[in-house]
Structure 1
Amino acid sequence: MTAKNLLVELLVEELPPKALKKLGETFAATLTDSLSQAGLAPAGAAVTAYASPRRLAAHVAGVLAVAADKPVVQKLMPVAVGLDASGNATPALLKKLAALGADASAVAGLHRESDGKAEILFYNSLAKGATLAEGLQKAIEAALAALPIPKVMSYQLADGWSSVHFVRPAHALVALHGADVVPVSVLGLQAGRQSHGHRFEATVDPLIIAEADAYATTLRDDGAVIASFAERRAEIARQLATAAARAGTDLKPIEDEALLDEVTALVERPNVLIGRFEPEFLAVPQECLILTMKANQKYFPLLDAAGKLTNQFLVVSNITPADPAAVIGGNERVVRPRLADAKFFFDQDRKKSLESRIAGLAKVVYHNKLGTQGERMQRVAAIARAIAEALGGGALVQPAEQAAVLAKADLLTDMVGEFPELQGIMGRYYAQHDGLDADVADAIEDHYKPRFAGDSLPRGKVGAVVALADKLETLVGLFGIGQVPTGDRDPFALRRHALGVIRMLIEGDLNLPLDGLLAGVFAQFTGIAGFEPNPAALADFIYERLAGNLREQGYTAQEVDAVVSQRPQRLGDIPKRLAAVRAFSALPEAAALAAANKRVGNILKKVEGELEASFDSALLLEAAEVALHRALVDVAPRADAAFLTGDYSESLLTLAALRAPVDAFFDGVMVNADDPALRANRLGLLARLHAAMNRVADLSRLSA
């Protein structure tokens, strides 16, 4: 059987732009997987996904017209049921064979296998391979069903009676195996070779796709469409860079991958043009202008070499007129009212100080179980004050408390009401306008940081204090009312808040023990109805997030478990502990000591009641336990001293000297001696050993 390349295209009305990339990838992948499962496409077949505003398509290489026949082994029945005493087929067996399309002549070819209880008859046959028409019909239906579409629309077909359901009305279906049309149908459409190109600039309409491999070329040359999402995206990026260079030396378009994806999903043949707006709008904070141009107009603002906004922007047009002046002028007219609105909001907001807006927070509901934003602000301010006192004393308390009180005031401004994404950012501008200190103004913006994975941390101590207070208040409050993330659900982004707290404590090397920190925050929620203090559950949640984050950074599961299982209170120590564990693991003594530590832990777990890490040296009888005692007397103080100074690597490396005496102890000493005093003394010695070995990390977690 000769394999040919397959092309499937579904032509529709304009698809949701933010979903287009995913729609195209899912359509192509599901279609190919389904064909592979049917034996029509090779495993790992080369597939090219196409997605433009008006089409989803896939080109699959090496597709068969008919799949190979498949051997099928059919379990029939026990031999005792299927054959009589003479070995002849019973009526039950003949009936079963008839249902499978066979007759009595097949009895001689049946084979027997035991299932452990009885001998079973099996029938071997060949299942005819699926034709491409059969397999592709199922594949297209599966591909459409798998599309990540939150909502579908219903529309009538041309007959005026039938209705179908899809994300957008579909108008044409192309299915070509080489040059041959595959007779399939979907959404009321019969497959053919006819499609349509650009709405306005196609040179041929309708487009006739001669064969599968001519698809992309035909759309580009005759249809004025770049069908590939990736190629269209690359072409837009190229044109943006070229237009920016043409607009001025050292100018560059703003970098925004999501915007680039969205614009790629809005145009079929991109044409980048340069627009301008009045320079007086640049008096408005550039974040406001950039956001309105990106969010409302899908423009790419142009920045200078210092990252400062200019009064020029780039438009990705879907048409290429001989004279683009009308297109440019239209876009300039459209953006001007948007910028004027931003200027109006900015001017109006500055007529009131941030401080004057604080009272209004008492009228804004934060959560029906946790009160208003005003009440929340008071809790955050109290938490910030306590953290500031712990970190910097009086010099840090005043600005931290002031920033915490003002941090949410910009939520009541017109600008943030229009653009919620600017919360904090506008607070900093308005604080500067009010004449507040720079560290307070910066903290108002930075208290939201880190906003996402990889985001920068607050730029100063005041910002770090308020950001910690804000995130901890959120975590404690929502945990206390039972709003705990489950599975993929995390509507309040508590995982992100926890990672933000972790990053600030570690990267800032802040001396704030976690349990004490959480206890202080929980104390701020006293008296709230329905609030259940659960600091242990929240601490577990934070340590789980910490462990996952460390593994993502490249630490092994064993290294992470060894350190995090000890639940270090000062998170800033964790990188040093991990480095120490990694250095210890490289020692030749590491594996034996880790195994011995695990053995010691298992022994101590079996001891009933409390066990003290103390012993009487006079009861040490065996040479091996005497030697272990001497080694501990020598090693433990040095390891403890290094631990107390924060030299965790030295603390662990010092333990290497214990390998020989530990091995000798387990080889020559019976821990569970008959004499209760002797047994208790040896257990006390092991408890002292266990405590000495596990201050930096639980070394037993390194045992394979």
Structure 2
Amino acid sequence: MTETLLVEILTEELPPKALRVLGAAFADGLTRRLGALDLLEPESRPTGYATPRRLAVTISRVREKGPDKKVEVKGPYVTTALDRSGKPTPALEGFCRKHGIDPTALVRAADAKGEYFVCRLSERGNSLEAVLAQAVEEALRDLPVPKMMRWGAGEEEFVRPVHGVVLLHGARVVEGTVMGLPSGRVTRGHRFLGEGVLEIPHAEAYAERLAARGYVVASFDERRSRIEALLKAAADGLNPDMDDALLDEVTALVEYPVVYVGNFDPAFLAVPQECLILSMKQHQKYFPLLDPGTGRLQPRFLIVSNLQVDDASEIVHGNERVLRARLADAKFFYDQDRRIRLDARVPRLADVVYHNRLGSQLERVLRIQKLAGMIAAQLHADHRLAERAAYLSKADLLTDMVGEFPELQGIMGMHYARHDGEPEAVARAIEAHYHPRFANDTLPEDDVSIAVALADKLDTLVGIFGIGLAPTGDKDPYALRRHALGVLRILIERSLPLDLKHLLAAAHGQFPPERLASSVVADVFEFMLERLRHYLRGQGYGADEVEAVVSQQPSRIDRVVPRIQAVQAFRRLPEAESLAAANKRIQNILKKADAEAAQPNPSLMQEPAEKQLHQATGELMPRVRSLIENGDYTQALCTLAQVKPHVDAFFDQVLVMTEEPLIRANRLALLRHLASMMNQVADISKLAS
């Protein structure tokens, strides 16, 4: 018999930022365990639920008892199971006692080692009653919870104290004990609305009973969707600022969401809106309202409440009073910060440690300043503006506003720079130099901002790598992978004609030589190439196409994508597969050869095929080189396809590793010459299957 199974764990308030993950992990973990116990049908489907005070899952088509199984257990080999007279040895007798069978019930089978005895048993299927409680506890223990807690006098541990357990198979309570509590069918509704104590008559009635009589929307996704719809309706034509993290957190804080509208004094809009928005969202979990045309903050906000009342004025006024105090703090910080110019704060960075082996933040700023000026000059931008922006880039770390809201570093520097009368390019670069802050974030747009952003990230990469703190495994405390990806994205997506190795060497040159490992430039370059591989594969390029280009260790990162696109065009040619295989063969031959690189000598060529290959290579080389210099990588590779018949003839008719040393060396030189021409854009041997 199959029925829908309900498992609910009633707790105290669960961590809101983790609730969505906990709910999904519990549903998945329990489903996998019951599947492994053969208690599910192929059509069984789980539905997870998560509210501030419960984790639950319903699974359709759950068996009351799993099917019996026929199993075979391999026993001892006949040579050790029977003595010379054919009687059972102690080894065979022990095997039979272990499985509760008579030796006469055994059958024989054979493998490469010989004959052995086999015990064929009928194994009874698992009973849901017998295994469910343990499966639930195992699923709870495996949840991604960083810190457990105990409660009462028991030994049970969970992320929060557990107060109830529901185990229902259809309408029947599955007896069992979970977290020290007996199972039942009673749960709890909303703390203040509806019926506080609810009896669930049937597993399939769970969500409907909680919603109708308990005022609890049990599904996390349904509750989140309802909040989104309520926010949009209450916004009255404005745009609620709804980011996913805040929506998830608010969804995890309420069981029956209701949205109310609050107001604040428009005088606070004189403070940069980023400060006000962050204060509303981070401290109070409110949703700011923005003008749909300009994106400017309006003096209204939305509150997601867990209480539905006829008169919400007290709730709204209480939230308005709390927000007024928060915004007043932000205005005070803003007013105080503007009394001191950014450039007056910079010398105080000497008292802020960047890293005890890399010096202070002031030393770092001075390094970034020089490097940013050098990069700006290479980009034909105003190096003085780049140096000024770099000099002021970390000054806002000493402001009260950034002390309260570290997320605003760079943003507040931009606002304070504008207040101080700094050039707009300087103010913009102070904010933009942190970009990209995360995956798919925007990039700096103008060359001054780009110069400061690159300088900042390169200084971090070279400095931290240079003192031996490269990322290991999944640990990356200095976000070096993010910094590396930021540099690569800027170089690629802004098509910058900058040499990565030269940039790393320039960053290295800003440090006292005794501070960093001598191999740091090479180490960081290799690290960044590996990040480049990940980035390119994430853009949809094939692994072999990426490797064909990146294996050549390109230093001009802006040329990598055009080269990969050329490889894609080349491999569509009918000659591509044959040339890739030939290139791979050439490289294998050259790896085994000891001869030094040299120019092939036509006078030593004996066979017509090698002469024709040399002539074709000589004719194609200038054309290919010219195309590459002009950035036409696709046409360069397509031009190479013309050498295919000569390569085929060479390998069909010429013995490369002949016994005559001069002839052998000359043929190897010809192959080197050919390989150098074929692999100028990419190592096409990587395309060979």
Q: TM-score, normalised by structure 2?
A: 0.98
* Equivalent residue number for residue 458 of structure 1: 444
Q: Distance in 1 between matches of 2:93 and 2:442?
A: 76
Number of residue pairs matched? 688
Deviation at 1:678, TM superposition (A): 1.4
Output aligned runs, 1:515-664, within 5 Å.
Answer: 515-529=501-515, 531-612=517-598, 614-664=599-649
Q: Distance in 2 between matches of 1:37 and 1:43?
A: 12
SS at match of 1:42: coil
The answer to whether the 8 Å contact 2:137/2:179 transfers is: no
Deviation at 1:255, TM superposition (A): 2.6
Does structure 1 residue 98 correspond to structure 2 residue 97? yes
Q: Deviations over 1:85-130 (max 9, x none)?
A: 454444543343222222x3xx333122234333211101011111
Q: Distance in 2 between matches of 1:327 and 1:698?
A: 68
SS at match of 2:377: helix
Does structure 1 residue 268 correspond to structure 2 residue 260? no
Q: Distance in 2 between matches of 1:568 and 1:628?
A: 28
Which one-letter code corresponds to 1:96 in the other structure? F
SS at match of 1:99: helix
Q: Distance in 2 between matches of 1:275 and 1:35?
A: 48
The answer to whether the 8 Å contact 2:370/2:387 transfers is: yes
SS at match of 2:510: helix
Which one-letter code corresponds to 2:675 in the other structure? H
Q: Distance in 1 between matches of 2:410 and 2:310?
A: 45
Deviation at 1:683, TM superposition (A): 1.2
The answer to whether the 8 Å contact 1:6/1:212 transfers is: yes
Q: Distance in 2 between matches of 1:514 and 1:304?
A: 43
Q: Distance in 1 between matches of 2:554 and 2:592?
A: 25
* Equivalent residue number for residue 310 of structure 2: 322
Which of 158, 170, 174 aligns to 2:166? It is: 174
* Equivalent residue number for residue 56 of structure 1: 55
Output aligned runs, 1:288-307, within 5 Å.
Answer: 288-305=275-292, 306-307=294-295
Output aligned runs, 1:18-417, within 5 Å.
Answer: 18-43=17-42, 45-85=44-84, 87-102=86-101, 104=102, 107-156=103-152, 161-202=153-194, 204-245=195-236, 249=237, 251-305=238-292, 306-392=294-380, 396-417=382-403
Q: Distance in 1 between matches of 2:574 and 2:43?
A: 44
The answer to whether the 8 Å contact 1:6/1:175 transfers is: yes
Q: Distance in 2 between matches of 1:533 and 1:389?
A: 27
Deviation at 1:163, TM superposition (A): 3.8
Q: Deviations over 1:234-258 (max 9, x none)?
A: 000010111112xxx3x11013000
Does structure 1 residue 480 correspond to structure 2 residue 466? yes
Which one-letter code corresponds to 1:579 in the other structure? Q
Distance 1:527 1:596, change over 3 A: closer
Which of 478, 488, 508 aligns to 2:494? It is: 508
Deviation at 1:677, TM superposition (A): 1.6
SS at match of 1:524: coil
Does structure 1 residue 443 correspond to structure 2 residue 442? no
Q: Deviations over 1:422-452 (max 9, x none)?
A: 0000000000000011111000000000101
Q: Distance in 1 between matches of 2:80 and 2:666?
A: 71
Deviation at 1:44, TM superposition (A): 6.6
Q: Distance in 2 between matches of 1:96 and 1:610?
A: 68
Does structure 1 residue 693 correspond to structure 2 residue 681? no
Q: Distance in 2 between matches of 1:530 and 1:379?
A: 14
RMSD over aligned Cα, in angstroms? 1.3
Deviation at 1:618, TM superposition (A): 1.9
Q: Deviations over 1:344-385 (max 9, x none)?
A: 000000001000000110000000111110111111111112
Distance 1:595 1:163, change over 3 A: closer
Deviation at 1:459, TM superposition (A): 2.2
Q: Distance in 1 between matches of 2:415 and 2:94?
A: 86
The answer to whether the 8 Å contact 1:370/1:528 transfers is: no
Q: Percent identity?
A: 52
The answer to whether the 8 Å contact 1:424/1:448 transfers is: yes
Q: Deviations over 1:23-49 (max 9, x none)?
A: 101111111111110111135730000
SS at match of 2:396: helix
Does structure 1 residue 432 correspond to structure 2 residue 424? no
Which one-letter code corresponds to 1:691 in the other structure? S
- For structure 2, the 5+ residue unaligned runs are none
Deviation at 1:663, TM superposition (A): 0.2
Which one-letter code corresponds to 1:277 in the other structure? F
The answer to whether the 8 Å contact 1:111/1:122 transfers is: yes
SS at match of 2:156: strand
Q: Distance in 2 between matches of 1:532 and 1:277?
A: 58
Q: Deviations over 1:17-74 (max 9, x none)?
A: 0000011011111111111101111357300000000000000111111111122212
Which one-letter code corresponds to 1:118 in the other structure? G
SS at match of 1:458: coil
Distance 1:91 1:462, change over 3 A: closer
Q: Distance in 2 between matches of 1:589 and 1:82?
A: 64
Which one-letter code corresponds to 1:621 in the other structure? Q
The answer to whether the 8 Å contact 1:631/1:661 transfers is: yes
Deviation at 1:76, TM superposition (A): 2.2
Q: Distance in 1 between matches of 2:90 and 2:625?
A: 85
Q: Distance in 1 between matches of 2:44 and 2:146?
A: 29
Q: Distance in 2 between matches of 1:584 and 1:211?
A: 63
SS at match of 2:130: helix
Higher alpha-carbon deviation: 626-635 or 438-447 = 626-635
Q: Distance in 1 between matches of 2:78 and 2:519?
A: 67
The answer to whether the 8 Å contact 1:34/1:138 transfers is: no
Deviation at 1:515, TM superposition (A): 1.4
Q: Distance in 2 between matches of 1:476 and 1:529?
A: 11
Q: Distance in 2 between matches of 1:68 and 1:592?
A: 56
Which one-letter code corresponds to 2:601 in the other structure? D
Q: Distance in 2 between matches of 1:398 and 1:444?
A: 14
Q: Deviations over 1:137-157 (max 9, x none)?
A: 22101111111111111111x
SS at match of 1:525: coil
Distance 1:91 1:550, change over 3 A: closer
* Equivalent residue number for residue 668 of structure 2: 683
Q: Distance in 2 between matches of 1:593 and 1:548?
A: 27
SS at match of 1:201: coil
Q: Distance in 2 between matches of 1:529 and 1:699?
A: 41
Deviation at 1:605, TM superposition (A): 1.1
SS at match of 2:603: helix
Q: Distance in 1 between matches of 2:512 and 2:596?
A: 35
The answer to whether the 8 Å contact 2:389/2:452 transfers is: yes
Deviation at 1:658, TM superposition (A): 0.3
